[in-house]
Each structure stands twice: as structure tokens, then as C-alpha cells.
Amino acid sequence: MRHFAHAARRVAAQRGKLEKVAIIAEYLRTLDDDDLVAAARFFTGTPFAARDERSLNLGGRTIAAVAGRIWNFERARLAEQYRESGDLGTAIGTLVRPALDLALFAPETLTPARLAAEFAAIAAAAGKHAGRTREAILERILRACTEPDEAAYAVKIATGDLRIGVREGLINEAIAQAFDVTEARVRRAVMASGDIGATALAARRGTLDELRIAYGTPIAAMLASPIVHGERYPELADAAWITEDKYDGIRAQAHVDGETVRIFSRTLSDVAASYPEIVSALRAQRTRMILDGEIVAWRDGGVLPFRTLQSRLQRKNLDAHLLAELPVKFVVFDALAIEDDLLIDEPLAMRRMRLADAVRPNENLELAPFAALETGSPASEVNARFDAARARGHEGLMLKRSDTPYTPGRRGKAWRKLKRELATLDVVIVAVEWGHGKRARVLSDYTFAVRGGDGSLLTIGKAYTGLTDAEIADLTSRFLALEIGRRGRAIAVEPRIVLEVAFDVVQRSDLHESGYALRFPRIVRIRDDKPPDEIDTLARVDEIHAAMLERERLTP
């Protein structure tokens, strides 16, 4: 690991991406096969491949205790170093005193492959004395280190915190450069195999295309960017799209591999245990596949809003009552892999065809219906589809370009979401605050109020977003003229300036005088056309709140 540590240190010291890539590529090229597999994984800051679920079960305390024992330093000194660097590996590295003669003359004994084997042994430790076994192996690892940096990097990998300023994409590039293949092929192989180590070796051997899809390793979800509901959609011109309903549920990626079914959330954690009926529905499929879709709650043939799904989340023990009360289904809208074909580079239209061929729908598994939207369709067509989606109880409309690949983890322009706010409120600003960062010199944070039954003003929220810099600058001078005192940190102003604010949800809350709070409030426009005595009332907020609850079929 001496050479790994040297390379890692040089990478950390470089700012430029190209230089970092070159250093890693050069280092990888020098390694034999086993070391290459291990080192490529280590560069992503993990002891094992992504698809590997083993973990070391080594806490910071244990590592600190073992290192302290070997090099005879006190806890307090380590704590001090740790505070300085914020990283256990670096902290330990500063306190290591390796035997000098070893450092100078010994050949590298702790190779990446050997470290990988030791990590495997730590992960395999089980039974009553597992803790002691793990400590003994860790001690063997650290004692084999002949340089402080070696120990530092062994610990950094063990704790999953390499800190050399490289993302996985950069390691892909280094592998591509080292073995003269394209970065796209490497990226694709890493995604398919869930193992950057195996990918590096395959790149060297020229066998990238032979890597099999590792079912069970999640792929980051493709995301959509918003477009604003209106009379024109310039974003949609010059391309063919498909439209789908935008379901108000939970994004899920299912990996179906015979009896083994895993369901990953958007944060890539396995949530299969929360949805036994969907797991059964997926098990009944005869095809290996990776599916992307949305889990929704439904009752009486209708979809329920997200809030009702929440009670099923994070529950470990689902009783029969809850299962019957809140049935869920998986609405599938994309296929990332089917059998041995990784589909992410295929155009959406093709993926959709493969999906329809592969999936057998049942009560808990549905294919999201979609419709083609021809190039140059009028906005009225889009809006009609949006209204129809809303009428079916969905959040809005998704628009996806039919000729584009699946780009994991990216919020691009190939997928668009069209939503419309529940309602807007006209409110008056009662207090303002100086902003932060580049807005430190303007009054950009506004507390606003609605009118109570007795005519008093009752605060209901705070908004920071939605106005242009020019509008904020203009408002700042108007507010300074309206100042009437202090309101905590804020400047209280005469209630003159009316805003129209949009929001996602209105909730009961003690935070504001009105007894309500708005979720994600944003300013739609300044309403200088509206006098403050015509702003919306608390009664109107009650109405919106009740309508929202009604829509969710919940009683207040």
C-alpha cells in the first residue's frame, strides 16, 4: 500500500482533474491483476465493491484503540489531531512511528490485494469473539504498514473516507486512460457490474462487454426538471415526447432476479421489507429485470396522495390491518435492464417497448400508461393532458423525450415535470430581514401575513425565493422608507406591499400567528395592483386547508 498511498497523496495535492486522472492511470497500469482489482475499489473509498454488501463493522473507537496500542500514543493526542484534520486516517498517520529500518529496506508487504484479503477476513469475523478477531486482524494490517501514509490510507479506506478530491467518475476516466478504452464503456461496465475493480481488470483484458449485470446493485435514478404551466412550452419544441401521469408516491427501483427481489428508494436504500405485496408481485415475474417506477397508495380504484403512504414508511412490522388498510402498487415507467441487456443507453421509446414485453402486470404491479406527443404539438394539447392527469388524482404531468437514454443521477432536460400549485395566496409583508451571501446588502427575506376575522394581520409564512435581483433591490429601498420598528431580528414594516405567494401544502402550525404554515412558499409576483386591505383572509386559508384535506380524503 506504500505505492497506493504515494499515488493517493499526489492526487490529493493536485487541483486539476486531468492531472489527478493521469496519476491514478499511471499507478493502475503498474499493478498486477489482483492488486488492480483491489486498488480500483480502494480509490472509490470503500474496502469492497459497490455491489458487495459486506461491511467491516469496525468503529472509530476500535481503530483508535488498536493504533494507540501499536504506536503507544495517548487518546488525547489522537483526539487533538482528529479535531484538526476531521479525519481518523490523517490523525493516526501523524502519530505513527514505523520502524525505520523496515520503511527503508523492506519490500512492500501490505499490497492492495493483501489488504483486500484482510478486509474480507474482518468482514467474515463472526461469533462470540468476533470483536477480538477483528481487532487482531486490524493490528496485523497496521503493523504491516511501513510508512505513516500507508497506515493513514488503510484507515481511510476502512472508514470509507478517502478525501483525495475524486469522484467515482474520475476513477472511471483513469481506468479508461490506463487501458485505452472509452470512458463511456467503463462507466457502463461499472454500472452493470457494480464493481469498479472487476471493471478495471476487464478493461485491461479487453473483456468489458463480457461483464454481467449485477442484479441487486442500485443505479442512481434519472430525475426531471420542472417547466412552468402556461400557454407556451418552448422547452418542448423540436422533439418528440411521451407524456405520463406524475404519480404522487415514492420513487422505487426494483431488481428482480428470480426469487431475489430488492426495492431501492431514491436514496438507494433497500426498502423491500416495507412493501411485501409488491415483492410478491415482482417475484411472480419470470424475467430478470431492473425496473424504475413509483410506489403509490390506492383505495377503491383511486390513487391516494403521498401523505397517506407515509404511515407505511419506516415501519418494520407491517400488520395485516395496515396492509389491508393501505394497499400499495408499483407503477412502472422504465426498464434499466432486462435479462443480460443493460438498457440505459437505449432510447426511451425502445426501453418502453422492452418493458411492455417483459412485465406481466397484476394487482400490485402496473405499467404506467403513456401517450406520444408529436413534435410541435400545441400547448393546448399539453394542458389538456395535464388536466386529465389531475382529474385522475395525480400530481401533474411528466414529459419525456422519446429518443434519449437513461442518464442515472442526472436532472436533465430530457425529462420534464409539469405541476401546478394548489392555490396561491395574496399576502402582505409585515417584516423583512437582510439576506445572506450576495444578498447581504438587500432586504430579501420577507415575513408575510393574512387578515384575521377582526381585521388584524396574522403571520403565516416567510419567503425568500421568486423575485429577481432588480425587484429585490427596488423593494429594499421601499422597505427602508416603511420601517416602523423591530420584530426580533427582523425590521417591522408598515403593511403596504402585497405579494402573491404559491406553496405546496398548507399545514397547521404554531410557528406563525395564523396557526398555519406554508410548505415551500415562493413569491409569484408583487401585487402593487392590490391594496393591503384586499389581501386573503384567514377564512380563505381555512378553506384551502379543508379542501386539501378533503382531496386527501382525510378528516381534519
User: Which positions touch ligand AMP (CB under 6 A)?
Assistant: 223-224, 244, 246-247, 251, 294, 333, 368, 398, 417
C-alpha cell, 350? 425502445
Q: Which residues contact 165 (CB under 8 A, 6 or more apart)?
A: 11, 12, 20
Q: How far apart are CA 32 and CA 105, in angstroms?
A: 22
Of 230 and 531, CB closest to ligand AMP: 230
CB of 251 to ligand AMP, least distance (A): 3
Beta-bridge mates of residue 40: none
Q: Is residue 151 within 8 Å of residue 28, measured between CB atoms?
A: no
Task: Give me the least distance between CB of 290 and ligand AMP, in Å please.
Answer: 15
Residue whose CB is nearest to ligand AMP in the complex, by number: 251
What is the closest distance, in whole angstroms, from the C-beta atom of residue 259 to ligand AMP in the complex? Answer: 27
Residue 246 known to be catalytic: yes
- What are the beta bridge partners of residue 483? 493
Local structure of residue 408 (DSSP, 8 states): T
Measure the CA–CA gap between 128 and 110, rounded to whole angstroms: 28
CB of 252 to ligand AMP, least distance (A): 8
Q: What is the 3-state secondary structure (H, E, C) of 80-115?
A: HHHHHHCCHHHHHHHHCCCCHHHHHHCCCCCCHHHH
In a 10 Å sphere around its CB, with 0-12 CB exposed, 13-18 middle and 19+ buried, how is residue 34 labelled? middle
Q: 134 or 246, CB closer to ligand AMP?
A: 246
154/118 Cα distance (integer angstroms):
11
With respect to ligand AMP, which residue has the nearer C-beta, 414 or 442? 414
Q: Which of 20, 246, 400, 462 is catalytic?
A: 246
What's the CA gap between 115 and 144, in Å, rounded? 10
Which amino acid is residue 76, in one-letter code? A
Instruction: Output the nine-digit C-alpha cell for 532.
Output: 393591503
Which residues share a beta bridge with 331? Answer: 294, 366
Cα–Cα distance measured from residue 406 to residue 443, given in angstroms and rounded to the nearest whole number: 42
User: Taking the complex as a whole, how short is the minimal distance between the CB of residue 414 and ligand AMP, in angstroms?
Assistant: 11
Buried b (16+ CB within 10 A) or exposed e, 371-394: eebeeebeeeebbebbeebbeebb
Q: What is the 3-state secondary structure (H, E, C) of 227-241?
A: EECCCCCHHHCCCCE
**What nine digits make up the cell of 181?**
478504452
* Nearest distance from C-beta of residue 432 to ligand AMP, angstroms: 29
Give least dist CB 392 to ligand AMP, A: 12
Which residues are tagged catalytic? 246
